[in-house]
Chains A and B, each alone.
Chain A
Amino acid sequence: MQIRMRTAALFLGLAAMALCGAQAQDLKSFEQKITTKVLPNGLTLIICERPDAPVFSYTTFIDAGDVNDPSGQSGLAHMFEHLAFKGTSQIGTTDYAAEKVALAKVEAANNAYEAEYLKAVGRDENKLAELKKAFLAAQAEAEKFVIPNQFTDVAERNGAEGLNAETGLDDTSYFWSMPENRLELWAWLESGRLSDVVPREFYKERDVVIEERRMRTDSNPEGRLFEQFAATAYVAHNYGRSGIGWPSEVSQINATEAMAFHKKYYVGANIVIAVVGDVKASEAMPMLEKYFSKVPGGPKPEEMTTVEPKQFAEKTVTIREQTQPIYIEGYHRPDYRDPDDAVYDAISDIFSNGRVSRLYRSLVRDQQIAAEAVGFGGFPGTKYPSLFVFGAIPLPGHTPAEMRVAIHKEIEKLKTTDVTDDELQMYKTRTRADLLRGLADNQGLANDLAEYQTRYGDWRELFKQLDNVDKVTKADIRRVANKVFVASNRTSAEIDTSSPEAPAKASAANDGGAR
């Protein structure tokens, strides 16, 4: 459980792009193992039979993440994800009918408190204290009906391994592995929390989430750097917003908002579930269909209208603090559906993948100015037009400015001279091998199948993407580099080390609007 941040941990693995591609025979063999079914409510189920050991892994993939948080509610998708572990009307409660009434009172008490708290003029502090007391009393009343953590308890007692969830800007996924004889129990648990979620212990869990923000962002130099970087690179699109939520917003999200998010985005058409392991589709599918038909239908939520406008001015962020220097820069690039998507992957591979990569050889091995240097596509998401990011960790005594110069030199080379045949072939070979390697892991495969089914409407794209990989040419790489890696399209961010004696910086580490 200890999160061990080694030097530049953020960069490790960034370049490990989960790409796609393999021979046709693999696709064919997978077509025999995989059964897909779209239920009347729009929910897609995928079963991949891999009966090596009596276990299965699953991923529930929701096509909604923090990019979908309504204005003023950043962090909502993630907050909801936490709620999805709190049980349903059937699990986690001693008496749901009574709890429901108590929860409504909690919500009313919170609304009354918030209304007073947000008064710009004439806030009555005595009244606020009274309202807070009333809120705490209502919360305590509702807690009387709670059986804490019963949902996760039942899962864990039945052998759930790797039980977790992730909320990104683009999407939310829930996953674990279990012994195969618990498949129906899992279906009951999972379909329950997708269709019948209860805003139980919401406000305490909000505190937990704020604590998570402190850990990941406020108290972490790289967390702070990347948050400021995205916020600067984007002027219109939600990719510029803190994913875990701005302190003032995440601390004021309420349960009503979380439930509204659920109603809109957790509809069948927005959900793909993949199960991989010792499961027979012919037996399991009818059972799964019975459980997951409970998920509400509803239309696929409308796509957002905001498109990030073309950047025309270079932007920079400089954080001066006591931690060691880092340099990153990003260029706006199109989304994952762009015909050049594989070209960006090729650039990432050639720039970052291993000790043969251009940035390693140039900045680390030859110039000896950096400990690590990478270039990768797809920050802070991939679903919408995102950033292609370059970054480097300077060796002691070297500066972000030197990183910038050295990275620009490599980018210039990419624009003016073709990559070698060997480099291009290496990218294609490694991509193919990486796809194959990924097929050996139930959980990894479940994630991939659910994600590709969502993103392309067909899990087969996981294999078919290899065609696009094979089509990438040297000319494509030069063309894309010349189009995208230009100064006016650039945002850079760096940490400049200040001495402890320097005046304290405006403290990002403060709680902002958190109460």
Chain B
Amino acid sequence: MNSLSLKHVLGITLVLAGIAPVALSAQQEKPWEKIPIPKLHEFKPQEPERIELKNGIVIFLQEDHELPFVSGSVLIPGGSRDEDPAKTGLVGLYGQAWRTSGTAKMGGDAMDDLLEAKAAHIETEGGEDSTTLAWDSLKGDSDQVYSLAMDLLFHPKFSAEKLELAQQLEATGIVRRNDDESEIADRESGKLVYGANSPYTRQPELSTIGAVTVDDLNAWHDRTIHGKLIIAISGDFDAAAMEAKLRAEFDGMPPVVPEPPRHDVFAGPTPGVYFVQKSEVNQSNVQIVGLGLDRHNPDLATLSVMNEILGGGFASRLVQKVRTELGLAYEVGGGFGFAYDHPATFRVVVLTKSATTVEATKAALAEISGLTSRPFAQLELDRAKDDILNSFLFRYDTRDKVLAERVRLEFYGYPADYLEKYKAALEKVTVADLDAAAKKYVHPDKLAVLVVGDGAQIKPGLDELNMGPVHPIDITIPQPKQVPAAEKNQ
């Protein structure tokens, strides 16, 4: 109903009673503990059917007859991290132009007309490590929409006009990328961790998107379409009939060509304080960053519990201290990030008024260092485990979530019982595990602090952080080389 209501959402990511020296003893009566918690209703999530074709393509079928819709997706390995750096932005443009161009049989505009009249969708998207074609429609239209989607998958006809449109939209994003403080901070902190030229953080520029041609889009498509496709269908359909239909389409394809392995180097940030000047703001966005972890890490469960204690909820150390006790932030939180096939980032974020930038940064840094110096309390551990385990159910409480998880695990080569094993590991985490993991993984001396804000208002200044000289970062947007006006006019 409210299409735009500028609603204020109470920021939740962000607090801890166990740490504060609270006189729990005085509160003997805990009325809520007297409320019975019956045994949870028996629940076995419905797993999708998995079919592996001879050529290596994998299909997941998840029936769900509650509503008369069918949706599907094809996940294709290869994404922006694999593109030519001189053409950074190619995969993003590909994701747009693929669908808007359409096919030889039906151009993108005509497809829009046909689909929207049926309240159906076919969309394509480019991501960091993959591209996706996805569709959905009412059941009655599902055969026709499926056929269109397959036509688009196998016979796209990239058009120069739609590529140009995509380039213009992308250019708009580029020239606007310094308008919003958070966007600047997220982007620049990532670059501090991975390096400005890393495949994970390099940014499209007007010149790199301008270098992309229709031939590039065709070449990208022709290469990636032979990768290990993962097809997922969910909704109101019959699995046997759907399997037959998919086999007819995909069985005849040649064996899949795996993406070449990546050999990225992840050094982590050069420690120190970095600053981006942003005028017309009265709040600083502070990001404390380092290298994070990947999910193969054997201490994943322990680190996940540590995350919860550091910045996971209202009871976390960061929120409790910086928001609740000091009143210095609305948004504060963070911790170790985990990616599936490369190290993610460690990131703690605090948004605070310009004048308290140093105070809030010091408070957040103290909580990070505190992981190694302040022993974990049993109460903290219990609370974090309760938080994670009692809400664990919400990772698979709908059939679509179960399906999405299975696709993710398949894509990154994790076992299908990953969540169960992860849950079992979470249950076993001890205080000793936490102490050991903190010593092993938390290195305050290896972190970089990025502040985006208005230097004139940041008083005391960032030198008061006593972390060495402040390194300014120039975020000026490079303009592509202009054809001299005289030449142009001839």
Contact = CB atoms under 8 A, between A and B. Distances in A.
Interface string A224-244: 001000000000000000011
A147 B22 contact: yes
A432 B171 contact: no
B433 interface: no
A382 B37 CA distance: 40
B117 A425 contact: yes
Given A52-B398, A147-B22, A182-B37, A156 B314 contact: yes
Highest count of chain B CB atoms <10 Å: which of A149, A166, A205: A149
Contacts of B31: 90-91, 188
Contact of B15 (A9, A152, A157, A179): A152
Contacts of B113: 356, 422
Interface in B84-131: 100, 108-109, 112-113, 116-119
Given A219-B181, A378-B2, A430-B119, A7 B176 contact: yes
A463 B183 CA distance: 40
A379 B2 CA distance: 8
B175 A396 contact: yes
A434 B40 CA distance: 32
B490 interface: no
B329 interface: yes
Interface stretch (A115-123, A253-261, A435-443, A484-492): A435-443
Contact of B393 (A55, A389, A505): A55
B165 interface: yes
B10 A82 contact: yes
Given A152-B315, A158-B390, A221-B280, A4 B330 contact: no
A54 B10 contact: no
Nearest to B321: A148
A52 B11 contact: no
A476 B387 CA distance: 53
A200 to B, nearest CB: 11
Contacts of B35: 184-185, 188
A204 B324 contact: yes
A218 B282 contact: yes
A208 B330 contact: yes
Contacts of A208: 323, 327, 329-330
B173 to A, nearest CB: 4
A95 B26 contact: yes
Contact of B32 (A170, A177, A189): A189
Contact of B3 (A17, A53, A439): A17
Given A167-B8, A355-B100, A440-B66, A429 B390 contact: no
B176 A324 contact: yes
A9 B173 CA distance: 11
A158 B386 CA distance: 7
Given A2-B349, A6-B183, A378-B3, A211 B9 contact: no
Given A94-B22, A168-B7, A3 B41 contact: no
Contact of A395 (B168, B282, B394): B168
A53 B397 contact: yes
Contacts of A146: 22
Interface in A3-29: 3-10, 14-18
Interface in B323-379: 323-331, 333-334, 349, 351-353
Nearest to A438: B67
Interface in B35-82: 35-43, 45, 66-69
A5 B117 contact: no
B186 interface: yes
Contact of B2 (A53, A78, A381): A381
A439 to B, nearest CB: 6
A381 B119 contact: no
Interface in A308-358: 321-324, 336, 348, 353-356
A216 interface: yes
B280 A433 contact: no
Given A181-B39, A215-B331, A323 B179 contact: yes
Contact of A376 (B4, B32, B168, B330): B4
A437 B1 contact: no
A201 to B, nearest CB: 7
A146 B15 CA distance: 14
Contacts of A3: 182, 331
Interface string B270-296: 000000000111110000000000000
A430 B120 CA distance: 8
A440 B326 CA distance: 41
Highest count of chain A CB atoms <10 Å: which of B4, B37, B177, B327: B4
Interface residues of A, number: 129
B482 interface: no
A376 B387 contact: no
B416 interface: no
A104 interface: no
Interface in B150-205: 165, 168-169, 171-173, 175-177, 179-183, 186
A427 to B, nearest CB: 10
B17 A426 contact: no
A5 B8 contact: no
A419 interface: no
Interface in A125-158: 146-150, 152-154, 156-158
Contact of B324 (A148, A164, A440): A148
A199 interface: no
Contacts of A393: 172, 176
Contacts of B109: 355, 365
A418 interface: no
B313 interface: yes
B180 A389 contact: no
A340 to B, nearest CB: 16
A161 interface: yes
B144 interface: no
Given A2-B349, A440-B66, A440-B67, A380 B5 contact: yes
A322 B176 contact: no
Contacts of A436: 67-69
A1 interface: yes
Given A159-B390, A168-B2, A430-B116, A153 B172 contact: no
Interface of B: 1-17, 20, 22-24, 26-27, 29, 31-32, 35-43, 45, 66-69, 100, 108-109, 112-113, 116-119, 138, 165, 168-169, 171-173, 175-177, 179-183, 186, 279-283, 313-315, 319-320, 323-331, 333-334, 349, 351-353, 383, 386-387, 390-394, 397-398, 454
The 10 closest A-B CB pairs, nearest first, are A1-B13, A159-B390, A433-B119, A207-B327, A219-B281, A157-B386, A214-B283, A152-B314, A371-B172, A204-B327
27 contacts: A1-B14, A2-B182, A7-B177, A17-B3, A51-B41, A53-B45, A53-B397, A55-B394, A55-B397, A82-B10, A94-B23, A94-B26, A148-B320, A153-B313, A156-B386, A157-B390, A159-B386, A164-B9, A177-B394, A216-B6, A244-B8, A354-B112, A355-B112, A380-B5, A422-B117, A429-B118, A509-B280
Given A53-B45, A156-B315, A211-B330, 6 more contacts: A1-B13, A53-B398, A94-B24, A147-B27, A211-B327, A437-B67
